[in-house]
Structure 1
Amino acid sequence: MADLVHPARALWWLFEPVHAVTYFLPEGKAALEDAGLHGSWRGYFAARSAPLGAVDAPPVIAAFFNFAPSMVERALPQVWTYAGPEEALAARLKGAAASLARLLEHVDREQIELATDTLEQAAARLDCAGRVLAAANAALPRPTGLYERLWQAATVMREHRGDGHVAALVAAGLDGCEALVVRCAMDVRREMLQPLRGWTDEEWEAAAGRLVERGWLTEHGTVTELGRIRHQGLEAATDLAAARVWEDYPRAELDRLAAALKPISALCRSQLPVNPAGLPDNT
């Protein structure tokens, strides 16, 4: 792991693509469709929110944070008439395992086992207080298959960091759309991210206007020096919120985990059609 990058962030760069396979790869989509969840976003909202139970839209809007409320409301709660949370949970795990089995066919099994065991151990040590998605995923039964275990452990770790990131964004005074506008002003194309989160042009421009008024953006939509400083602060806060679980790990053990995860992550990342999480290009 690079010395200039916080270990919590460097490891997130590696386990985020593992988590994402169930939502973007053909096996994941097929498993969700087999469960009755036709349409990418219907399957996504059902699969990701399923650990919370058959919830209505408001708690998912709050937990997912940067999706337009209208987009969530188009899926929930109607999605539960097509498949219940148990069916969605089974489908997402089945799809993830099938994807990983295909992608990791030629990866040494001991390497996969090392990454899985270490991520599971870390997930078991997480403090999920105040982190709704992480807590709900951590409470799920431990799968038996290796690929299922790898995906679930990566998912618990990912949602734990994500919950902390939402807290950092709220503490920074950003709402969901504003957070996306800032990110797109820095290094992600608006035309890629805006449609994926469901915000209208009017909502996007209003958010940009609020950020200009508060000094985050210039009138031309570029990030100000104040905006960069505040963005760096919220990213550092996210790292800090995710760091505690790794503090007792010797550096050599963290490097060993990173080395085991890197080829796994690279294979997963190579198959993802988009990068909504804003991972760096060289991950």
Structure 2
Amino acid sequence: MTDEPGRTARLMWTHFEPVHAVTYFHPRARAAYEAVGLRGYWRGYFAGRSAPLGATEAAPVISAFFTFAPPMVARALPAVWRLATPQEALRARLTGAVQALAELTYELPETHLAETADLLERAAGSAQTAGRVLGAVNAALPIGEYPLARMWQAATTLREHRGDGHVAALVAAGLDPVETLAYRVAVDMSPVNLLGRGWSEEQWQAARERLARRGWLTPDGTATDHGRAGFQAVEDATDRAAAHPWEALGPDDTDRLRELLEPIARSCHTLIPEGSPIGLPALPG
């Protein structure tokens, strides 16, 4: 990491990302999607995450989500909109997330949750969304009425804002989607959780060969020092691009928000399986 704003952005990511992630891993979140006809994990995932874009075709989602093979996305979109409208998918994802957070935060006082939501909303409201499609469409959604809904929506806006910046950094580094996944598998992610993104074995092997020619992997698939330095540069660029909300919030309020998020994030983190595609490190301490 090259600067303090980047370090702060990464630290705050480890605290708000678990809040967002309940939508992928909690049974109540999955049940909420099923209740509106979105049965099967991937139907709920693609409908819920793309719903802020409206009843979109596959092409914008292939671009914005980045790491999924185009045929996999095309199997889900636009077919999911025959099962649930984007508005129904949005209600389901928020309902499921709120129910999950209610279960995970029941021991915390309402004042704690309300202050957390207030500060997260201030940070999310200052996020610069030009060139960040998923961040922008989530930022444009109506603000929730209750603290848990507000908290989850703000965390989701910040998460997608950061993700848009990460995709831009990957593109600038000349990494394509399957190369990105192949490198992460070589370093720190379980192939079990990434092989399900629709790429063929031939595409995986071709990506590994391209990374080897580039000097990022050895012929046996081990990450090289050159590759680690190259990917660290991507991570540093991602952190710098995600720093503005925390600079706008200011150091005192950012520290306060981190303290408030700490017990919430730790509780949510228990849902995230080891080696998950999120790539989220453990909370410090």
> Is TM-score (shorter-chain normalized) higher than 0.5?
yes
Shift of residue 32 of structure 1? Answer: 0.5
Structure 1 equivalent of residue 209 of structure 2: 209
The answer to whether the 8 A contact 2:126-2:248 is kept is: no
Aligned ranges 1:183-262 → 2 under 5 Å: 183-195=184-196, 197-262=197-262
Letter in 1 for 2:258: A
Q: Relative to structure 1, is the Cα distance of residues 5 and 133 closer, same or farther in structure 2, using a 3 angstrom cutoff?
A: closer
Q: Relative to structure 1, is the Cα distance of residues 4 and 83 closer, same or farther in structure 2, using a 3 angstrom cutoff?
A: closer
Q: Which runs of 5+ in 2 are unaligned?
A: none
Q: Provide the C-alpha distance between the structure 1 equivalents of 2:222 and 2:25, rounded to a whole number of angstroms.
A: 31
Structure 2 equivalent of residue 264 of structure 1: 264
Structure 2 equivalent of residue 86 of structure 1: 87
Structure 1 equivalent of residue 55 of structure 2: 54
Q: Relative to structure 1, is the Cα distance of residues 125 and 249 closer, same or farther in structure 2, using a 3 angstrom cutoff?
A: closer
Structure 1 equivalent of residue 72 of structure 2: 71
Shift of residue 21 of structure 1? Answer: 0.7
Note if 1:101 corresponds to 2:114: no
Letter in 2 for 1:222: T
SS at match of 1:272: coil
Q: Tell which deviates more after alignment, 178-187 or 38-47.
A: 178-187
The answer to whether the 8 A contact 1:25-1:272 is kept is: no
Structure 2 equivalent of residue 115 of structure 1: 116
Q: Which runs of 5+ in 1 are unaligned?
A: none
Structure 1 equivalent of residue 27 of structure 2: 26
Shift of residue 110 of structure 1? Answer: 2.1
Q: Provide the C-alpha distance between the structure 2 equivalents of 1:106 and 1:86, rounded to a whole number of angstroms.
A: 31
The answer to whether the 8 A contact 2:14-2:282 is kept is: no
> What fraction of aligned residue pairs are identical, expressed as a percent?
54
Paired positions, count: 280
TM-score scaled by length of structure 2: 0.94
TM-superposition CA deviations, 1:175-218 (whole Å, max 9, x none): 111111111111112223222x2222221111111111111111
The answer to whether the 8 A contact 1:137-1:155 is kept is: yes
Q: Which runs of 4+ in 1 moved over 4 A?
A: none
The answer to whether the 8 A contact 2:132-2:164 is kept is: yes
Letter in 2 for 1:235: E
Shift of residue 111 of structure 1? Answer: 2.0
TM-superposition CA deviations, 1:63-94 (whole Å, max 9, x none): 00011112111111111000010000010000
Q: Relative to structure 1, is the Cα distance of residues 74 and 244 closer, same or farther in structure 2, using a 3 angstrom cutoff?
A: same
**RMSD of Structure 2 on Structure 1 (CA):** 1.5
Note if 1:12 corresponds to 2:18: no
Q: Tell which deviates more after alignment, 254-263 or 170-179.
A: 254-263
Q: Tell which deviates more after alignment, 105-114 or 230-239.
A: 105-114
Letter in 2 for 1:93: L
Q: Provide the C-alpha distance between the structure 1 equivalents of 2:5 and 2:220, rounded to a whole number of angstroms.
A: 31
TM-score scaled by length of structure 1: 0.95
